[in-house]
Amino acid sequence: MLNRFLVVLLLISTPFGFVVAGQSVEDLCGRLALDYGWYRDHPEGMKDAYADLFTEDAELSFGGRTFNGRKAIADNMTENRDRVTSVHLMTNIRVTPTSDTTAIGESYAMIFFTPASPGPHLVEGYSVVAEYHDEYRLTESGWKIAKRTLVPRFRDAAFVPPTAKQ
């Protein structure tokens, strides 16, 4: 209860958005988008930090698959990591507060995939250029991703998406 009170106490409305502990919602949620890419690309020892980006009831959708709940999302992070290496270049992050406790966002990602092997990795070009469409929610422990959906925009003609282990 005290944590929620402190979060609410630190929430100040301004003409430019909402500010939490000196940082805007745009900055805090934008950092979630950046951290998502970093943790996806560096899964070793990061599963808990990755999971903490999401609300308990979050939804993550990409590649025709949807993962519901923080545990399912975290488990997906390490799926195929022995076979696939990725790099997510995140840019054009836009966040719009929709209330004191919610926000929406969009960002672009250029994503590279390559078979897992000791680096450096050789790639022909990008694998996918996509948009992420996000919903954010303020929780007792700060802003979290409540819903994230990948919407592909361009794909390298030679790219074959990694598949789940059978």
d(CA 47, CA 91): 23
Q: How confident is the model at residue 5 (pLDDT cuts 50, 70, 90)?
A: very low
Dihedral over alpha carbons 157, 129, 114, 135 (to 10 degrees)? -140
DSSP classification of residue 115: E
Does 23 score more than 80 pLDDT? yes
Q: What mean pLDDT do residues 20-47 have?
A: 88
**Cα separations (Å) of 101 from 56, 96, 97, 142, 165?**
16, 12, 8, 10, 38
- Residue 70's SS3 state is helix
Average pLDDT, the chain: 83
Q: Which domains does the chain have, with CATH numbers?
A: 2-155 (3.10.450.50)
pLDDT confidence of residue 43: 78
* Comparison of pLDDT for 108 and 46, the residue scoring more: 108
CA angle (109 as vertex; 158, 32 as ends), nearest 5: 145
* Predicted TM-score of the model (pTM): 0.81
Q: Which pLDDT belongs to residue 163?
A: 58
Q: Burial of 151 by CB count in 10 Å (0-12 exposed, 13-18 middle, 19+ buried)?
A: exposed
Structure confidence by residue, pLDDT tens digits, 51-102 = 999 999 999 999 899 999 999 999 888 777 777 888 999 999 999 999 999 9
